[in-house]
Amino acid sequence: MKYSVCTARGRFLICLALCLFTLLGAALPAMAENADWTGSATFSQEGVKVTGEGLEWKEGTLQITKGGTYQLSGTAQEARIKVKVGKKQEVLLVLAGLNLSHTTGPVMEISSGKSVTLELSENGENSLICGTRPENVLMAGEGEKKASAAVLSESDLTIRGSGSLTIGGYLKHGLNCEKALTLESGTLTIEAVSDAIRAEGVLTLSGGEYTLLCGGQGIRVSDGKKSGATFEMREGSLTIDAAQDAVCSEENLSILGGRLMLKSGDVALKAEAALTVSGGEILIPTCVEGLESKHVRVESGSLHIIASDDGINASGANKNDHSPMLEIAGGDIYISADGDGLDSNGTLLIEGGRLIIDGPDVARHGALDSDLDCLITGGVVLAIGNAQKPQTFTRGSTQCFVTFYAAFREGSALVLTDANGVELYRHTAEKSGAMVVFSTPEIQSGEKILLWVDGETAGEALAADAR
């Protein structure tokens, strides 16, 4: 018997076919998406639902024993994840709304494997919390001696994606990677009673948004196996509020780009060997010292530093070590320091950029301080402070400068002009002082420069270099 599409039965068959087609079409993307997964686990307080292979739930711990790709989701307390795979195997963990906590140990522990990647799925909010949050994280102390971190990795670790991850290290550290750590993308928030992020060898930050609050160091990169220690930031946003150093590397530290907002109870950016700024925006509203290393070089970017001691410090192993070097080759830099504005235990060289220093109003410090040469060959510099430590530019400088000894108060308007009254620079003093050092490529040797303080002539000087 033949059926017409106009009959009731024909219409029913067509509707049935359309429904099946719709259901199959909806399932196909999910099937395709899941096709590359080695396994998946969904946490709940009742337990864990596991599919695929390479996963085992045992005594409150989800064990991943095979390289591959795994999707993890759900919420549970007193639950852990442990990755233990072959030395040459790689693991990709897709966090899709995973929220785990544990009171006594690491929530995620990666004990072996060539590399592990945490993929933060789109719109996914994830959290890994270890311990109980204290009332004041910054004042919580060093944490428990035998504790490690909320997330502990003994393999190379990469974090990426468009979702978010919150890590709470309320026993000790937040994220501790004993190999190379790469932060590519995503939104990461870490609180820790000790250090927020620790890595050995190399830590690369190439994108994403990171907010760290900790009672120790914000980021620490150590030379664990004597193979070097390097922190490099290329892009992204990094906000740190740390009771100790904000970022510390046992060897090298480079800022190539991105935006940093650093509050530090000690040094904001610290490297034992070399610290280089060649881009980005660095805001340091609170610190003891802003930048510190044996060799500091600023090539470009912008820096705004408020320091209770030195703004930028090139320091040696001891007071008799005069090998340190502080170089300003470019950039837009503002420093307000209660210690020295720029301090080098060796040589201080300014080659370019724009540098404004509101130096100290106490006698034992100065806006500029160098144990050896203090040279200028380019750039715009205005360094003001007290006159009790009268450091100015020394022999070997090829750009002209002027030095004034004239009193001014907090809030005084300081204006530098040429002999015809053409304004060269204007600045409002943040603190009282009695010394002004000024240099710009615009002034020539023998040219008369005038200093005005609150509208009154406070001094005049002839520009000269120190060849």
pLDDT at 18 over 50: no
| Calpha distance 212→174 (Å, rounded) | 9
Closest C-alpha among 208, 72, 71, 180 to residue 127: 72
pLDDT of residue 146: 66
Which residues in 374-440 belong to E strands, given as ranges? 374-376, 380-385, 397-404, 413-418, 423-428, 435-439
Prediction pTM value: 0.90
Q: Please list, in sequence order, all residues whose beta carbon lies within 8 angstroms of the beta carbon of residue 323, skipping any fewer than 6 positions away.
A: 294, 316, 346
pLDDT of residue 37: 86
Please state which of the ranges 133-137, 223-227, 281-285, 389-393 shows the lowest mean pLDDT.
223-227
pLDDT tens figures, 259-296: 999 999 999 999 999 999 999 999 999 999 999 999 99
- C-alpha 60/C-alpha 38 separation (Å) is 21
**Is residue 4 predicted with pLDDT exceeding 60?**
no
Whether 145 has a pLDDT exceeding 80, the answer reads: no
Domain definitions of the chain by residue range = 60-226
Average pLDDT on 185-208 reads: 97
DSSP 48-78: EEEEESSEEEETTEEEE-SSEEEEEEEEEES
Provide mean pLDDT across the span 232-238: 98
- Greatest CA span in the chain, whole angstroms? 113
pLDDT at residue 11, rounded to an integer? 53
Edge to edge, the sheet with strand 423-428 lists: 423-428, 413-418, 448-453, 456-462
Phi, psi of 212 (to 5 degrees): -120, 135
